[in-house]
Chain A
Amino acid sequence: MLLTVLSGLFFSCLTIPFGKMLKTKWSILLPIVPLLLFAFFLTQIPLISSGNSLYQHINWISSLGVNFDFKLDGLSLLFSLLITGIGTAIFVYARSYLKGHRYYDRFFGYLFLFMAAMLGVVLSNNILLLFIFWELTSISSFFLIGFNNDNAESRKSAITSFCITGLGGFFLLAGLILLGNIADTFVISELIQAKDLILNHQLYPVAVIFLCIGAFTKSAQFPFHFWLPGAMKAPTPVSAYLHSATMVKAGIYLLARFTPILGGTPLWNNTLMIVGGITMLYAAIHSLFRIDLKGILAYSTISVLGVLTFLLGIGTKEAVTAASVFLLAHALYKATLFLVTGIIDHETGTRDISLLSGLGKVMFPVAIAGSLAALSSAGVPLTFGFIGKDLIYEATLHTPQINFKWVLTGLAIATNVGLVAAGFMAGFKPFFGKLPQQFAGVHLPYTSMWIPPLVLGVLGVIFGCAPGITGHLLTEQVAKNIIHHEITAPLKIYHGFNQVLILSLSTLAVGTLVYLMNKASSRKLAFIARFKALSPEQIIIGCGEDLLKISAWATSLSHNGYLRSYHLKIILFAEALLAYKLWHSGSISIDLNMLTQPGLYEIAVALVFVGALGIMVSTSSRLTAVVSMSIIGYCTCLIFVFYSAPDLAMTQFTIDTLSTVLFVLVLYRLPSFINLASRKILYRDAAVSIGFGLILSLIALKVWSEPITKDISHFYGENAYLLAKGKNVVNVILVDFRGIDTMFETVVLSIAALGVYSLIRLRLKPTEKE
């Protein structure tokens, strides 16, 4: 399984050196990769259908609990088949769709990357590994949405979607780590064993909320749904693949995967039901007001994602079965509709459904594909969508919350009516009616473009007519993976004349009616646009802008660009902190016997020192300041002499001399100091600096009065001669015990010298030119 994931990454990398070749006839090789993967997963069906799972474990960072743990069970297999199967269709399609595009090679690089990441998500048995792939899907989605990178709208949509899914990613990571810490394992199959522990843990609600935010952002649930319509800026094959069939379902996958770990509680079920319910109805209504084909499809996709979340929230075996069937049905018909839309856009140059009609006369096979998908989406009998809808009603009618039975059913009906109409708008409207004059010259696209949607559309009908093909895998294994409950009821086309059938048929009738009455026009678009200010999108973007304003205000408050004001703030803060700590650290007691008596020389030196310091601070002459500086240095040097530090004294003396030379060399031509500050500011600064000096003196006194251990010094003293054959301990420390430090000190010195050298040389160049 690692191989299947890695192969995508491998081919993604291959597109870098061999990208040029892809633009030629070699591109025929592209769809072979997903096709082979698809074939591989198909061969696993018998094994998985019989109730087994496939495991693979490769150590990676075992100490952190991150390993390549893979597991193939029913749920993973369903998604893997979707990813590779629809992937194959998309690859075939995109090869023609983007023919001659400037970034042809790049596109397939991203697509391979996405496929690998997505397979990684559904196959991972380790939650941290899952997270890594999860983020990879966000990244590849970012690149694909912004694929037309010279379009400002594309870039903006890419950033929006990346921010939203990235935000969700953070929450997801937090939630996953929380779960891992509670259960002390990062392996999914072990987490399931620890279910009781997790459910009873006090942080359980936090983990659920975090995980849900991660899943909701990815699967475009209300109120994070708005990135998905924006993501339609991507090339149509990408919309079909990432933003309807696979990636957005990663959130659904996550919820399904974690149902056996976190599910079964009111918190889990209600959150999913409420969020899913709002999303499905909100998006279904919205889709009716769109006139852009992709806009309609985007909102109906959001609505379907809402339905899936809703079904997982109900969480009964009927609901879970419905979710798995509907997931597959939707992937098939929605991918078809997107691909058909892509063809229409490609051939006519517009996606406005108020303009499109009658195209069936000029592109018959495409019309068939579109109509089949529309029928499946509407849930007309003998399509797979019909079975899905049946199961949804079955699920809502048999919820454990009997009181809300009709509320939930009503929600589902309303949503489905919207979905029927949206499906008809996208799949029927462009192909029937009168062919406008302007589209008379439109012709059928490349064969490789209309075959994939037709195949997907026909599959929808085949599965619908013979549900037994998928039955084993879907109803038994997938549902078993989600709720750990054996389900034996096979899928049937006809359940007999009952409540569910009546609901199904009436939904279809009402939906058709809505479609016929709902005339697409830009007026409606304007109508819905009026509510934009209230939409979550505007609220979130507004919050972001306000945040920027606040931070700009805070920045302007504290950052005025003057170095000294930063110094002042830093020093005042340090003073406050140190003073507080000093105040609380008790009194200082000085043992007078510990003091060494100062001699006359020392006192004289100290006086000179103080005098030089005073001159330095107050002088207005640069040279005087530098001379005072060197006097201070020499005084320090004398202090070192008096108190047994001959090495220091020598070094200080020579360095001081050299520094003075340096200063004089550079500064003698600078003007003298000008007093720029007012008297008030001078007093303020003086007070601040005296305070700082005082505090440091007190700290020094305090530290000095505490006893210190001298083990290390004694070690050096005792071993200097024995180990290093030296008698000057300071030198021995420098060149022997701590030799590496000295080594790097000389490196630092060299870097400084090189810096000086190059700075001066840099300045010489322009003058040399003149």
Chain B
Amino acid sequence: MELILIILLGMLYAAGVYLILRRSMVKLLLGIMLLGGGTNILIFLLGGIVKGKPPVIAEEAKLFQDVFADPIPQALILTAIVISFALTAFAIVLLKRVYALVNSDDLDDLNTPEEEDI
């Protein structure tokens, strides 16, 4: 499964890079989200993946009895997911505003804004 994850994250990165090389602002945003997703999987993978053993201590125990999934990458990714939502929301509103001003999704149209748009 690790190999599959590695391939998946590579594809996420490739797709993300491909999208940020496009001219559309929406694609740029989606590309950034994909890159974020790829990074999450990368961190998750590097923590070592374990099947069916969440990092929760058993009911009656005070310590882990067994091998458990690494909690640190999980804590990191959880933070990253939430923050990326904030980023997405902010970016998307920016995009909406730019669209309302320039009436275009094309990044190149931002280079020479007309006087009345500013």
Contact = CB atoms under 8 A, between A and B. Distances in A.
Q: Do chains A and B touch in the complex (CB under 8 A)?
A: yes
Interface string B1-35: 11111111111111111111111101110100110
A553 interface: no
B44 A645 contact: yes
Nearest to B104: A671
A392 interface: no
Given A629-B30, A670-B26, A644 B5 contact: no
Nearest to B40: A636
Interface in B75-105: 75, 77-79, 81-90, 92-97, 99-100, 105
Contacts of A720: 57
B18 A689 contact: yes
B14 A598 contact: no
User: Lowest 3 CB-CB distances: which A-B pairs, in order?
Assistant: A693-B14, A697-B10, A752-B86
A640 interface: yes
* Chain B: number of interface residues, binned into ranges: 35 or more
A567 B1 contact: no
A712 B38 CA distance: 24
Given A562-B111, A693-B14, A745-B82, A673 B90 contact: no
Interface in A637-686: 639-640, 642-648, 651-652, 655, 658-659, 662-663, 666-667, 670-671, 673, 676-677, 685-686
Interface residues of A, number: 94
A658 B86 CA distance: 11
A616 interface: yes
Interface stretch (A130-138, A204-212, A487-495, A753-761): A753-761
B11 A717 contact: no
A606 B4 contact: yes
B15 to A, nearest CB: 5
B82 A651 contact: yes
A718 interface: yes
Interface in A722-767: 722, 727-730, 733-734, 738, 741-742, 745, 748-749, 752-753, 755-756, 759-760, 762-763
Q: Counting chain A CB atoms within 10 Å of each CB, which of B56, B71, B82 scores highest?
A: B71
A629 B8 CA distance: 14
B30 A606 contact: no
Given A632-B37, A676-B23, A713-B70, A659 B85 contact: yes
B33 A717 contact: no
A39 interface: no
B105 to A, nearest CB: 6
A597 B74 CA distance: 21
A677 B22 contact: yes
Interface of A: 561-564, 567-568, 571, 594-598, 602-603, 606, 609-610, 613, 616-617, 622, 625-626, 629, 632-633, 636, 639-640, 642-648, 651-652, 655, 658-659, 662-663, 666-667, 670-671, 673, 676-677, 685-686, 688-690, 692-694, 696-697, 700-701, 703-704, 708, 710, 712-713, 716-718, 720-722, 727-730, 733-734, 738, 741-742, 745, 748-749, 752-753, 755-756, 759-760, 762-763
8 contacts: A609-B8, A613-B11, A616-B30, A645-B44, A697-B7, A700-B45, A716-B71, A763-B97
A556 to B, nearest CB: 14
Contact of B81 (A567, A609, A626, A648): A648
Interface of A is mostly: helix
B78 A696 contact: no
B7 to A, nearest CB: 6
A662 B88 contact: yes
Contacts of B58: 727
A568 B31 CA distance: 14
Contact of B38 (A655, A696, A718, A749): A696
Contacts of A622: 26
B51 A596 contact: yes
B78 A647 contact: yes
Contacts of A721: 57, 62-63
Contacts of B4: 598, 602-603, 606
Contacts of A756: 89-90, 93
Contacts of A692: 13-14, 17
B44 A643 contact: yes
A645 B56 CA distance: 10
Contact of B94 (A644, A652, A759): A759
Given A629-B30, A728-B56, A685 B78 contact: no
Contacts of A662: 88-89, 92
A267 B53 CA distance: 76
B84 to A, nearest CB: 8
Given A595-B1, A616-B30, A666-B93, A752 B21 contact: no
A561 B111 contact: yes
B38 to A, nearest CB: 7
A170 to B, nearest CB: 37
Q: Counting chain B CB atoms within 10 Å of each CB, which of A563, A662, A696, A701 scores highest?
A: A696
A596 B45 CA distance: 12
B70 A710 contact: yes
B71 A729 contact: yes
Interface string B42-71: 101111111111111110001110001111
A733 B71 contact: yes
Given A733-B75, A745-B82, A562 B107 contact: yes
Contacts of A763: 97, 100
A461 B48 CA distance: 92
A663 B95 CA distance: 11
B20 A567 contact: yes
Contacts of B96: 666
Nearest to A590: B3
B24 A738 contact: no
Contacts of B74: 645, 647-648, 730
A663 B92 contact: yes
B57 A595 contact: no
Nearest to B28: A563
B15 A564 contact: no
A616 B15 contact: yes
A747 to B, nearest CB: 11
A661 to B, nearest CB: 11
B59 to A, nearest CB: 8
Given A721-B62, A748-B83, 4 more contacts: A666-B95, A685-B21, A717-B55, A763-B100
B17 A753 contact: no
Contacts of A710: 48, 70
Contacts of A659: 33, 85, 88
Contacts of B20: 564, 567
B66 to A, nearest CB: 11
Nearest to A629: B30
Contacts of B15: 613, 616-617, 689, 693
B68 A596 contact: no
A647 B81 CA distance: 11
A708 B46 contact: yes
A659 to B, nearest CB: 6
A595 B78 contact: no
Contacts of B72: 712-713, 716, 733
